[in-house]
Amino acid sequence: MQYKLMTILCCLFLFINSQAQEKETYWVVEPSHAKVGFSITHFGISETEGRFQKYTGKIYAEKEDFSDAQINLSIDVSSIDTDNDDRDAHLLAEDFFNAEKYPTIEFKSTKMEALGDNKYKLHGDFTMMGVSKSIELDVVYKGTIKDFWGNTRAGFNIDGVINRMDYGLTWNSLLDTGGLALGEEVTLNCNVELIQKTEGEEEEEKAEEDTEEKAAETEEAGENR
């Protein structure tokens, strides 16, 4: 009887251990070390730059060189920032992004094509203002490291060009000289740092943050009595 119990316990331990080892890993964008930026020609003589401050990204990759990467990125349109509040408000209005109706920009990869020398051609579906188009982006893989806290991080530079007219962003203004105020092509530039996570890790971190926040609120309430 004792032998049978020990056998069952050993099998249970091996099962639990195998489940822990098989936990899926993935990568997320680390916002404090990333930039999702863009630029557009202004008055035909200069480039106006901007960026989105809020976005989430999740990447699955089994190969160390990310050649099999599956990428999903969601951008919060309302977080646009061009260093000018009036311009940002205009960009969010119906003339441009119509953020109330189309609150996000989405990208979903379909292929990560290795070109050699840590360079890739990233193919995917880009959705903006309800319109989806296949686009190609140039990617440079900057490497993978372990940080001071034991986290695995990877870095990428991503560049590309889209035509805003393809997505219904057609607003423009005619200059006295006959030219247009804004160009049609938008240059995309993203510097992205990823951090590797294990299935369930983000939920655990969020629960821990919520617990710490509630404890701080309780402590503060006690001090104010």
Span 50-61, pLDDT tens digits:
999 999 999 999
pLDDT for 148 beyond 80: yes
Could you read off the pLDDT of 87-101 as tens digits, one per residue? 999 999 999 999 999
Q: What is the CATH number of the domain that holds 59?
A: 2.40.128.110
Tokens representing 50 are: 């901007």
Judge whether 42 lies within some domain.
yes
Judge whether 114 lies within some domain.
yes
Q: Which residue type occupies 79?
A: S
For 44, other C-beta atoms within 10 Å of its C-beta total 12
Could you read off the pLDDT of 182-205 as tens digits, one per residue? 889 999 999 999 999 987 655 544
pTM above 0.75, yes or no: yes
Judge whether 12 lies within some domain.
no
pLDDT for 8 beyond 80: no
Judge whether 105 lies within some domain.
yes
Query: For the chain, how many structural domains are there in total?
Result: 1
Tokens representing 1 are: 């009887």
Three-class secondary structure of residue 181 per DSSP: coil
CA distance 200 to 197: 8
Judge whether 4 lies within some domain.
no
Q: Residue 122's pLDDT is what? A: 97
Three-class secondary structure of residue 137 per DSSP: strand
Sign, CA dihedral 163-139-159-54, equals positive
Judge whether 64 lies within some domain.
yes
H or E segment and range at residue 39: strand 35-42
| C-alpha closest to that of 144 among 100, 101, 186, 192 | 192
Q: Range of 85's domain? A: 24-200
